[in-house]
Structure 1
């Protein structure tokens, strides 16, 4: 007999399989160029994407792709390097410089194929004029702790970069560009995914300054000067570098939710997709999800049990505690557990689909009604762990962490709540 946890793990597997870019790339190959084919890219899925392209392409390729430490895969002709995420490092800066050098030599008969997925913002770490890598690192850490959304963080990042916000496309001209995308952002906007290195940008330096002020983030004077200067100008849609540019969306959060819903229905469950672009504080989003779960259990709405509630998007965590460990999905589940502790027949899972929730080694966690009982028997005050943003430690103590290792894709959060 399949257990409730096994059911949710099967839904997770379906979601991850639907997000595998290697399946879609062979079906979406561009026309071969007269000249060279150059493959570049950045992101947690970029190495997997590069390998799929290399295997499917009829002809020689060359190039360089940067991915997160531990996410590399072997390619025969495309060089794969690793760098730090979510805070950039010198390896990412070096890789970004090399990528710019590579595309700067491309001619009008060449094809530049760019592999972009979530994580690319940190991995393409090339500071804008007047900034240092240390400046970028400090600003990245502050943004990650602030509670800013991914679109807000990437707005700031691109305006402090020498490669994002369309600048990589500008450097690739006059070559033809094809960009493959794996979306990890609510709404699937190419200008936000990895801060849009090959697409035009509608935001301004003033937008970035407004975000900095709203979250009361202290940035170096050099960063303020850049955001206020003419050098901040990103590349706009009418720039000739975008002539003939093609963007191909390989995987989206919605695709994974629909795949999981299909498997759930085959199991005899009612499947309700709450949304693929849910944002907000992880602990607050959990309270809303818990309310819907109670409505299913008590009133059969929006669907009768057995029912699974599915959602995606990217929640945020405003760090209040000190020394806590964990990511947004673990924090979501810890808050959810506190809300559903007296609700029998529930099981819940939440992961970051790249396999790494925050900066720890877990993808997320999986919980049920027994999780609360286990914590109580062990004398674990889950409220205290939540207050300290220490969900990882809490779930480690009750053996509810979910470890998948790098998945080589990234379509943001995947959440599933089963009510039976």
Structure 2
């Protein structure tokens, strides 16, 4: 099988190579286990005219039409699995993706490219196509939906009275505010015609049936467990009920002092909204399957480390702090382990996951490109010189971190020196949000392309015994 990390060999040409290899191999195993193409195919199959998912089945001969609707940064892989399994039973479909790759060839599913992290016209046009498809549905139809993180931006269709630019500007401000993803989504769902369950609401109005496959990037979600069993408490995304409220959206805006930074029309829409502007809260008639959740990455990374004979510990799957600060803390943990054998004995692997943030209050601060994962490992590199051999990888699991084509980065106790040897001030790069340029110069940018999953950040830290 082709490697998930496309520049695997290049990353082993510099730095603490033996430590890098351990970290990269753990990451490679983890990404393969998380691939939604394989996950869906492991539980879904056709038996004659019966669609079987786990222990449940649907007689497709009784359906007038079967449609696929998907969106998200892992939708490419989800669409491929459904398209292959259903074959001629699939009538039509639309998948809205972030990155189109040559392998995205489907028999019945149309691929559209939307905008992420900021919405764009392509996403809006795709939403109009989707709503046209839904508009012709009836109670004899079946919709199979595949959603993953990123659908909020990719399915960009603002409510009546707001413009696409309003949605773009609001998203841009929220992403740079330091707000958590749940707070950001509370706002975005309530100004969208598609998100926060609005798509499912339209399907329900037609009386059609909905089966949903979802990858959840929510920090609060528990590990998936048996993915063949329907999820009883499914929430969020365009196809599921939304637990957030208009009040939550307004609270998030005020918490971060964004009242004057987001478009006036957006704030007015949220503040003056009544029950008619609230998102739907329940779809008991639908069937949902959780394919991945955020803690899954640490479970599989721990398996990989164990297969190497390494002790691995999960530090936290709730990382939501400033990315560069988290990186510095990880370097401090590495030093503590090497010097005093606490809280774990070296050699060991320290795992974490979540959605670290990068706060940018003024766009004039930006001197380059980057994202939270790259800022995290750059922050680690600045403090890791005294933890010889320690190596940390942080990637956005879907394959693109922030505004870059890199999934994230990998740094070790030699990286700071390598960045400086390339003529770059790593401290200035971190202050100027130019982590991509600094890491690329040191051979420390991790490139994957689409991975088939999207469960926020995967952080892997290897700490060898102290080198005397």
TM-score (norm: length of structure 2) = 0.84
Matched with 1:356 is 400
* TM-aligned CA deviation for residue 59 of structure 1: 4.6
Residue 47 (structure 1) aligned to one of 58, 76, 82: 76
| Structure 1: runs of 5+ lacking an equivalent | none
Matched with 1:141 is 172
Residue 4 (structure 1) aligned to one of 15, 19, 24: 19
Matched with 1:179 is 212
In structure 2, the CA distance between the partners of 1:193 and 1:16, relative to structure 1 (3 Å rule), is: farther
* CA-to-aligned-CA distance 1:247-278 (integer Å, 9 cap, x gap): 10111232222222111122121111112232
Residue 335 (structure 1) aligned to one of 357, 379, 393: 379
* TM-aligned CA deviation for residue 327 of structure 1: 0.5
* TM-aligned CA deviation for residue 364 of structure 1: 1.0
Moved over 3 A (4+): 192-195, 375-380
User: Across the two proteins, how many residue pairs are aligned to each other?
Assistant: 416
1:248-263 equivalences in 2 (<5 Å) = 248-263=289-304
Matched with 2:33 is 18
* CA-to-aligned-CA distance 1:284-311 (integer Å, 9 cap, x gap): 2223323322232122233211111111
Matched with 1:236 is 281
1:197-236 equivalences in 2 (<5 Å) = 197-217=238-258, 218-227=261-270, 228-230=272-274, 231-236=276-281
Partner of 1:182, secondary structure, is strand
CA distance in 2, matches of 1:198, 1:358: 25
* CA-to-aligned-CA distance 1:324-368 (integer Å, 9 cap, x gap): 310100100111112222211211111111111111111111111
**Is the contact made by 1:297 and 1:419 (CA closer than 8 Å) also made in structure 2?**
yes
CA distance in 2, matches of 1:261, 1:77: 38
* CA-to-aligned-CA distance 1:146-170 (integer Å, 9 cap, x gap): 1111111111100110111111111
Residue 67 (structure 1) aligned to one of 97, 105, 110: 97
In structure 2, the CA distance between the partners of 1:194 and 1:96, relative to structure 1 (3 Å rule), is: farther
CA distance in 2, matches of 1:379, 1:105: 60
| Structure 2: runs of 5+ lacking an equivalent | 1-11, 45-52, 223-230
Residue 265 (structure 1) aligned to one of 303, 306, 323: 306
In structure 2, the CA distance between the partners of 1:194 and 1:369, relative to structure 1 (3 Å rule), is: farther
**Is the contact made by 2:139 and 2:209 (CA closer than 8 Å) also made in structure 1?**
yes
CA distance in 1, matches of 2:66, 2:40: 15
